[in-house]
Structure 1
Amino acid sequence: MKTLEGRIALITGIANENSIAYGVARSLKARGAQLVVTYVNDRTLDFIKPLLPDLDPALLLKCDVADDASLDATFAAITDKFGKLDIALHSIAFAQKDDLHGRVVDTSREGFMQAMDISCHSFVRIAHRAEPLMKDGGTLITMSYYGAEKVVPNYGVMGPVKAALESTTRYLANELGPKKIRVHAVSPGPVQTRAASGIREFGLLIENSIQHAPLRELIDIDDVGEATAFLCEDGAKRITGSVFYVDGGINIVS
């Protein structure tokens, strides 16, 4: 069913065919949304070019969320082309390897600020620019992880950063709710993405999820895409501010 027919969706964070953002983009496209796909640099563009025929984006834009001028140009292009925006996906996270692999207590000021800026505050910057374009309401989605709530070995500084991201989600939901703009953090279980490959002993997280999640199986990017698409549909119009787990139930297990 084309439940998102006529909706315009901004997609950030596609790095390759294993990216969660790619799974979300496919699900939104299948429901009729027109996609605005962004890439951070020319190297990333080379990786995602094979995916573009599948997504058939209405706009393909270079966008570095750490650069305000780049974000401004992206939203100016959306305004010129469509005059509105209905959905924005923030699927971006970054931390220096030493800060991700090391102890939080040893994190440098610069490393902490960089991780927070790219992984959390960039969602605020996107929301700020999306708000005036969501004239009839809309949905803002970011991607979190269980390490925001509990200590996950080898997740390092990204745990506190994701905790800040989930709190930010709640505050944005409260502030933008009167404009019918809904805000969610989707929290997938372990998925073998390029970002996940930077987590030391990630294979142990995969193994633990298979052994202990109630459903005894891994999720994939299409599972995340389908759940995210639901949150953007009218059937979810009374839901906002949630952390929406797509993890086979591992979050309920001690």
Structure 2
Amino acid sequence: MPAGSNDYLGLAGKRFVVLGVANKKSVAWHVASGLESCGATVVYVVRSEERKASLAKLLAGRTIFVCDVEFEEQIQKLRDDLTATGEKFDGLLHSIAFADYSDGMKPFHETPKRAFLRAMDISCYSLMAVSNALKDLLTPTASVVAVSISTTRMASENYGYMAPIKAALESSLAFLAKSFSRFSQIRFNAVGPSLLKTSASAGIPGYIDSYLYAEQVIPRKEALQTEEAASAIVFLLSPRSSGIQAQNLIVDAGMSINYFDAEIVQRAMKPA
């Protein structure tokens, strides 16, 4: 994402907090790289000291803080750490999700309560908790962006209970936008990409088959690239998206328009 000489997105000199970089395949990493290429400064927040150490080479020379959003005291420490920088921030990326599939994929109605609530805490509530903790560190027109999915109405067995959690994440955008409007013009949006090739997705049972199927459904016969989702996020973080509020911007390369592609239907209807 090369920087334009006229800074069309208006990102030069702005500062952002990016949560969720795990490695160079992460959506968060591609977003951060895009922001930096546009002249912005990024402060990175990672889950653990071990993750910070593993990213030492990739994030060399950058400011990195540690915060496991499952623990309230760590969110408060992140607020204190960022406050100590003496800076205000023009945006925040929440690229965090967690689901425990270690026991294999179960039918939705057998979802363990503990697993569901933990995933809700980390993947959804953390957006509210972090936004609240950092509200005084965000500029009055800052942009907060979360990473969702392209549809929460598709009952994909191998995504399981995470779809309802992403639906809750999307719903929370409207409520955060409304409550923050009492004291700011801070915006809350999400980008909903179709299937991506990331390290996190590789841990979902059966994901590869779904990814390959998505490639067939997408009109161009090529899956969505992580860079494409990241570019949409960079736009939403920029002042150029100032009129967009409480939305999930779908980035699926047209997958949702092509489920009934004639060739795919014909192959599905052939006798086994």
TM-score, reference length from structure 1: 0.92
Aligned AA for 2:67? Answer: C
Residue 153 of structure 1 corresponds to 157
Cα gap change, 1:190 to 1:84, in 2 (>3 Å): same
Deviation at 1:215, TM superposition (A): 3.1
Question: Aligned match of 2:84 in 80, 83, 105?
Answer: 80
CA contact (8 A) 1:11 1:88 kept: yes
Question: Aligned match of 1:137 in 132, 137, 141?
Answer: 141
Question: Aligned match of 2:132 in 120, 128, 134?
Answer: 128
Deviation at 1:4, TM superposition (A): 1.1
Residue 270 of structure 2 corresponds to none
Aligned AA for 1:247? Answer: D
Deviation at 1:61, TM superposition (A): 0.6
Residue 195 of structure 1 corresponds to 200
Greater CA radius of gyration, 1 or 2? 2
Q: Is 1:106 aligned to 2:135, yes or no? A: no
Residue 8 of structure 1 corresponds to 15
**Structure 1 CA distance for aligned equivalents of residues 137 and 33 of structure 2:** 23
Aligned AA for 2:188? Answer: V
Deviation per residue, 1:16-63 (Å, 9 max, x gap): 11111111111111112211111212331233222113xx42x21111
TM-score, reference length from structure 2: 0.86
Residue 39 of structure 1 corresponds to 46
For structure 2, the residue ranges without an aligned partner over 5 or more in a row are: 260-272
Residue 267 of structure 2 corresponds to none
Aligned AA for 2:222? Answer: E
Question: After alignment, is 120-129 or 142-151 more displaced?
Answer: 142-151
Cα gap change, 1:65 to 1:122, in 2 (>3 Å): same
Cα gap change, 1:152 to 1:31, in 2 (>3 Å): same
**Structure 1 CA distance for aligned equivalents of residues 105 and 156 of structure 2:** 12
**Paired-residue identity, %:** 29
Deviation per residue, 1:147-198 (Å, 9 max, x gap): 5232123111111111111111122123224511111111111112121012
Q: Is 1:60 aligned to 2:64, yes or no? A: yes
Q: Which structure features the higher share of helix residues?
A: 1
Question: After alignment, is 124-133 or 94-103 more displaced?
Answer: 94-103
**Structure 1 CA distance for aligned equivalents of residues 194 and 103 of structure 2:** 22
**Structure 2 CA distance for aligned equivalents of residues 8 and 161 of structure 1:** 29
**RMSD of aligned residue pairs (Cα, Å):** 1.8
**Structure 1 CA distance for aligned equivalents of residues 125 and 30 of structure 2:** 23
Number of residues of Structure 1 aligned to a counterpart in Structure 2: 251
Deviation at 1:100, TM superposition (A): 6.9
| Other structure's SS at 1:135 match | strand
Counterpart mapping for 1:146-225 below 5 A:
146-177=150-181, 179-225=184-230
CA contact (8 A) 1:88 1:130 kept: no
| Other structure's SS at 1:6 match | coil
**Structure 1 CA distance for aligned equivalents of residues 42 and 241 of structure 2:** 20
Residue 228 of structure 1 corresponds to 233
**Structure 2 CA distance for aligned equivalents of residues 63 and 9 of structure 1:** 16
**Structure 1 CA distance for aligned equivalents of residues 119 and 89 of structure 2:** 27
**Structure 1 CA distance for aligned equivalents of residues 58 and 80 of structure 2:** 25
**Structure 2 CA distance for aligned equivalents of residues 9 and 21 of structure 1:** 12
**Structure 2 CA distance for aligned equivalents of residues 31 and 149 of structure 1:** 35
**Structure 1 CA distance for aligned equivalents of residues 58 and 258 of structure 2:** 36
Deviation at 1:70, TM superposition (A): 1.2
